[in-house]
C-alpha cells in the first residue's frame, strides 16, 4: 500500500467573522509555523465534519459557533513532506463566548483583522478561504 495509503487526510476549519473582521490565529508548530490561519483541525474517524468543526473551534478558542455554513473546500498538498489534507471551511458569523488561545502549545496569538489588512504570512488554507470571502458570494 505504501506511505500514501492513508492520504489524503480530512481536516476542517472556520472563518469567524465579527462585522468586517476575520479571526486569525498564529501557528506555533509546523507545518506553517509562524503563519496566521483559521482555527480548525482534523476530523476524527466516524465524526461528522460539522461535529468536528464545532469541537475544534471550542477546543482551540473556547467559543461555540452557531449556524455555520460551508464557505469553501481547501486542498493543502505538500508532496515533499508527504502530506495532503482536504477540508471544508465553514463561515461562522455567530458564536457564543469570547475567543481566547486555549492551546498555547499550538497557537501563539490571535487577533481580529480587517479583510483588507490581514497579517502575513497566511496559511495555505487561509489564503484559499480568503479568496472565497473576497469573491463575496457568501
pLDDT greater than 50 at residue 1: no
pLDDT value of position 98? 97
In a domain, 2, yes or no: no
- Please list, residue by residue across 91-122, b when 16 or more beta carbons sit within 10 angstroms of its beta carbon and e when fewer do: bbeebeeebebeeeebbeebeeeeeeebeeeb
Domain of residue 119: give its range: 8-135
pLDDT tens, residue by residue, 53-64 = 999 999 999 999
Helices in the chain by DSSP H: which ranges? 49-61, 124-135
In a domain, 30, yes or no: yes
In a domain, 43, yes or no: yes
Measured CA to CA, the distance from residue 53 to residue 44 in angstroms comes to: 10
CATH number at residue 27: 3.90.79.10
100 — alpha (psi -120 to 50), left (phi > 0) or beta?
beta
Give the containing element (helix H, strand E) for 138: none
C-alpha grid cell for residue 56? Answer: 475544534
pLDDT tens, residue by residue, 34-80 = 999 999 999 999 999 999 999 999 999 999 999 999 999 999 998 99
In a domain, 1, yes or no: no
In a domain, 3, yes or no: no
In a domain, 39, yes or no: yes
Amino acid at each position: 500500500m505504501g506511505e500514501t495509503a492513508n492520504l489524503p487526510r480530512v481536516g476542517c476549519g472556520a472563518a469567524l467573522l465579527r462585522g468586517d473582521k476575520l479571526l486569525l490565529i498564529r501557528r506555533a508548530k509546523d507545518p506553517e509555523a509562524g503563519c496566521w490561519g483559521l482555527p480548525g483541525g482534523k476530523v476524527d474517524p466516524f465524526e461528522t465534519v460539522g461535529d468536528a468543526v464545532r469541537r475544534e473551534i471550542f477546543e482551540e478558542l473556547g467559543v461555540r459557533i452557531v449556524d455555520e455554513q460551508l464557505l469553501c473546500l481547501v486542498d493543502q498538498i505538500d508532496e515533499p513532506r508527504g502530506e495532503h489534507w482536504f477540508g471544508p471551511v465553514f463561515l461562522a458569523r455567530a458564536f457564543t463566548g469570547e475567543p481566547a488561545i486555549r492551546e498555547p502549545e499550538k497557537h501563539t496569538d490571535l487577533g481580529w483583522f480587517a479583510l483588507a489588512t490581514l497579517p502575513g504570512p497566511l496559511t495555505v488554507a487561509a489564503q484559499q478561504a480568503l479568496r472565497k470571502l473576497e469573491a463575496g458570494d457568501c
